[in-house]
């Protein structure tokens, strides 16, 4: 009889210990801000590591090209006044603070501290020359174009959108995207928001009714007239409010953008029109745009839970979430991570038009 009791006890231990371990793992995942195994298994949602092995900035001389800065969190005096040193929302300051030259410029000036050359540079620059140009569109709005002259060679285009009350110069300095684009061979354009705010849905342009998706369509068409662009590989990235605008753009202009990159932003509009490709990098300690959703004292908006974004897009979409242990920042590795994801995406519809379907890159729709 005693032997039978021991067998029952052994069986209970064998079954119970794995269940306890599974429960402990689930609790640990939720504590870190990562989606649970159930939500991660969604047809459209993938959880990726924050960066290859570390979230510490590389030593000087790295080839990533991304800026090793901590971005000024929106909602702080530093972000609004253009102070050069800033710290992450809810976390300790980075050892290397953001030297955000240009954030003191008016939010509407966009390229106040950018290198500006006459419009004729596009036609006269020697092949291989790199330049940045302030461009005014027919609508009266503007953007910064950075490219290397390579006649006849179509290259990818990345549009980068700044944060709320920031400008293009601040975005350039925080992201390190300008030298990165030179190293990796893509055309780069920095967008200029009206009054420093993008109309990304419920945040953050109020009721001004600006059609920023139409502006980005106009911007892409203008860049294509000035330098050879591969229309199947146009990407839109953004930080905070700019990231929200990037998410809206890929949802409402899926015929233009092959992928979106969101840093510390959120998807705030319906996105059932077509399959999308989007990477979302977000600090789990962010209080300005909370990763888990909730109220923001700064912009007076309640944000949705970013861990469930895949439920708001088509089932054939791909949303790659990259939570990391940080605040409302553009981490030093974000530019490289976004390019690693975006560069693998192409517009399937455009491939058919151009006859390039057999040349589709891995990971494309």
At 38, is the secondary structure helix, strand, or coil?
helix
Closest C-alpha to 328, from 293, 268, 285, 279: 285
Dist. CA 336–CA 8, nearest whole Å: 55
How big is the chain, counted in residues?
A: 365
Dist. CA 261–CA 331, nearest whole Å: 13
Spell out the per-residue pLDDT of the chain, length 365, in tens: 455 555 545 555 555 555 554 444 444 444 444 443 333 334 356 777 776 544 445 443 333 333 333 333 343 333 333 333 333 333 333 333 333 333 333 333 333 333 333 333 343 344 567 778 999 999 999 999 999 766 678 999 999 999 999 999 999 999 999 999 999 999 999 999 999 999 999 998 775 789 999 999 999 999 999 999 999 999 999 999 999 999 999 999 999 999 999 999 999 999 998 999 999 999 999 999 999 999 999 999 999 999 999 999 999 999 999 999 999 999 999 999 999 999 999 998 544 344 343 333 333 33
172-206 as b/e: b if 16+ CB within 10 A: bbbbbbbbbbeebebbbbbbbbeebbbbbbebbbe
Model pLDDT for residues 175-198, shown as the tens digit of each residue: 999 999 999 999 999 999 999 999
Give, in order, the Cα–Cα distances in Å from 230 to each of 131, 340, 353.
19, 17, 13
CATH code for residues 43-359: 3.40.50.1820
Sequence-distant (≥ 6) Cβ neighbours of residue 238 within 8 angstroms = 160, 161, 162, 163, 198, 244, 245, 246, 260, 261, 262, 263, 265
Give CA angle at 103 (269, 187), nearest 5°: 65
Sequence-distant (≥ 6) Cβ neighbours of residue 8 within 8 angstroms = none
Q: Find how far residue 208's CA is from the centre of its chain.
A: 24
Answering whether pTM is above 0.95, one says: no
Dist. CA 251–CA 158, nearest whole Å: 16
Closest C-alpha to 313, from 340, 279, 337: 279
Model pLDDT for residues 139-165, shown as the tens digit of each residue: 999 999 999 766 678 999 999 999 999
Closest C-alpha to 55, from 296, 327, 299, 324: 324
Model pLDDT for residues 269-297, shown as the tens digit of each residue: 999 989 999 999 999 999 999 999 999 99
Asked if the peptide bond before residue 204 counts as cis, ω within 30 degrees of 0, the response is: yes
Dist. CA 159–CA 167, nearest whole Å: 14
């Amino acid at each position: 009889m005693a032997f039978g009791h021991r067998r029952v006890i052994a069986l209970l231990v064998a079954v119970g210990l794995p269940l306890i371990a599974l429960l402990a793992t689930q609790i640990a995942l939720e504590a870190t801000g990562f989606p649970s195994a159930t939500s991660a298994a969604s047809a459209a949602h993938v959880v990726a590591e924050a960066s290859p092995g570390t979230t510490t900035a590389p030593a000087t001389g790295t080839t990533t090209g991304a800026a090793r800065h901590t971005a000024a969190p929106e909602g702080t005096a530093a972000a609004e006044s253009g102070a050069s040193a800033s710290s992450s929302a809810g976390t300790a300051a980075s050892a290397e603070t953001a030297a955000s030259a240009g954030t003191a410029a008016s939010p509407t000036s966009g390229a106040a501290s950018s290198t500006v050359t006459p419009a004729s540079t596009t036609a006269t620059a020697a092949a291989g020359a790199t330049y940045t140009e302030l461009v005014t569109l027919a609508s009266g709005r503007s953007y910064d174009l950075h490219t290397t002259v390579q006649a006849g060679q179509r290259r990818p285009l990345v549009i980068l959108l700044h944060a709320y009350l920031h400008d293009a110069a601040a975005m350039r300095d925080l992201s390190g995207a300008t030298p990165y684009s030179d190293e990796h061979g893509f055309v780069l354009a920095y967008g200029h928001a009206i009054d420093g705010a993008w109309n990304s849905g419920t945040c953050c342009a109020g009721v001004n009714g600006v059609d920023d998706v139409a502006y980005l369509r106009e911007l892409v068409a203008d860049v294509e007239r000035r330098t050879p662009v591969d229309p199947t590989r146009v990407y839109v990235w953004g930080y905070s409010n700019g990231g929200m605008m990037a998410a809206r753009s890929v949802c409402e202009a899926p015929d233009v953008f092959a992928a979106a990159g969101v840093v510390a932003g959120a998807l705030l509009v319906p996105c059932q029109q077509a399959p999308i490709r989007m990477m979302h990098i977000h600090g789990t300690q962010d209080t300005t745009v909370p990763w888990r959703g909730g109220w923001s004292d700064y912009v007076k908006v309640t944000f949705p839970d970013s861990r469930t974004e895949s439920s708001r897009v088509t089932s054939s979409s791909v949303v790659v979430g990259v939570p990391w242990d940080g605040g409302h920042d553009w981490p030093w590795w974000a530019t490289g991570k976004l390019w690693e994801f975006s560069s693998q995406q192409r517009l399937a519809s455009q491939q058919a038009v151009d006859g390039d379907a057999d040349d589709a890159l891995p990971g494309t729709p």
